[in-house]
Structure 1
Amino acid sequence: MKNSDSGKNDHDRTDKGAGQAAAVRHNAAESRYELVLDGSLAVAAYLTRTDGSRVLTHTYVPEALRGRGVAERLARAALADARAEGRKVVPECSYMARFIQRHAAEFGDLV
C-alpha cells in the first residue's frame, strides 16, 4: 500500500508496552494511525497541508481501551513518522496538544 502524501509505504509499528503486543498501523489512505486491540479500533486522524505539515485533528480510543496507554502509542507513532519524514505538526486535537506539551523535550521541535 502506498502512502499518497509522502510516497512511502504504509507500515506497522509493533509496541509491546504495558504487556501488550499490538501494531500501530499507518493507514495513509484514510489519513490516520490505527491500533486494533481486543477487537476495538483506536485512531489518530490527521490532514496533510499543501506545505507538507500534518494537522493532528482527532484521537479516538474506545471506552473499553481507555487507561491502557493506547492514545499515547498512537501519538508516539504519528510524531515519530512526522519527524522521520521531516514534517511539522499542528496539534488541533486537544489530546495531541497536551501530549506534545507534556513531552516538549522530545516532540516540541515538531510544532
Structure 2
Amino acid sequence: MTDDAEITVTRNDEKGRYEIHLDETIAGFTEFLPDRHGRLVFPHTEIDHAFAGRGLATILVGRALADAAARGETVVPVCPFIVKYLHKNEVDGLDVYWRPTVDESGSDAIERV
C-alpha cells in the first residue's frame, strides 16, 4: 500500500457501518445501529493496525458524520473517538443527541439501544 492510495468512505447498510478503503482494501470502519427512536447510535470505530498512524479514523468519522448530516439523521455518539471528534469539530447540519451521563441524570438508568 503506497501513501498515494485513493481513500474512500462508503456506507454499508447491510453491515451497519461506514467503511474506509485505501484503494480496494478496507482499512477500518465505524459501526452504527438505529435505536428505538430511529437515531443512529455509533458505538465503535476501528482501524486495522496495519493502517494505524495515518489519520484514517479522523477521515472516516468526519465523512461518516457528514453523510449522516446530509441524510438528515440524528446521531448518538457512544464511541469515545466520535465523542472526542465532535467536541473538537463542527459538522454542518448534524443533529447530535448526547446521552445523559450518571451525573446529569442523577441515576445510572441510561437508555439502551
Q: TM-score, normalised by structure 2?
A: 0.71
**Following TM superposition, by how much is the alpha carbon of 1:74 offset from its aligned partner in structure 2, in angstroms?**
1.2
Paired-residue identity, %: 33
C-alpha distance 65-92 of structure 1, shift in aligned 2 (>3 A): same
Gaps of 5+ in 2: 97-113
1:25 aligns with 2:27: no
Q: Which residue is 1:36 aligned to?
A: 21
1:73 aligns with 2:53: no
CA distance in 1, matches of 2:70, 2:80: 23
Q: Alignment length, in residue pairs?
A: 93
**Following TM superposition, by how much is the alpha carbon of 1:19 offset from its aligned partner in structure 2, in angstroms?**
4.7
Classify the secondary structure of the residue corresponding to 1:106.
coil
Q: TM-score, normalised by structure 1?
A: 0.72
**Following TM superposition, by how much is the alpha carbon of 1:97 offset from its aligned partner in structure 2, in angstroms?**
0.4
Q: Which residue is 1:91 aligned to?
A: 77
Q: Which residue is 1:56 aligned to?
A: 42
Alignment RMSD, CA only? 2.2
CA distance in 2, matches of 1:54, 1:70: 21
CA distance in 2, matches of 1:106, 1:19: 26
Q: Which residue is 1:110 aligned to?
A: 95
Larger Rg: 2
Using the TM superposition, name which of 78-87 and 36-45 deviates more: 36-45
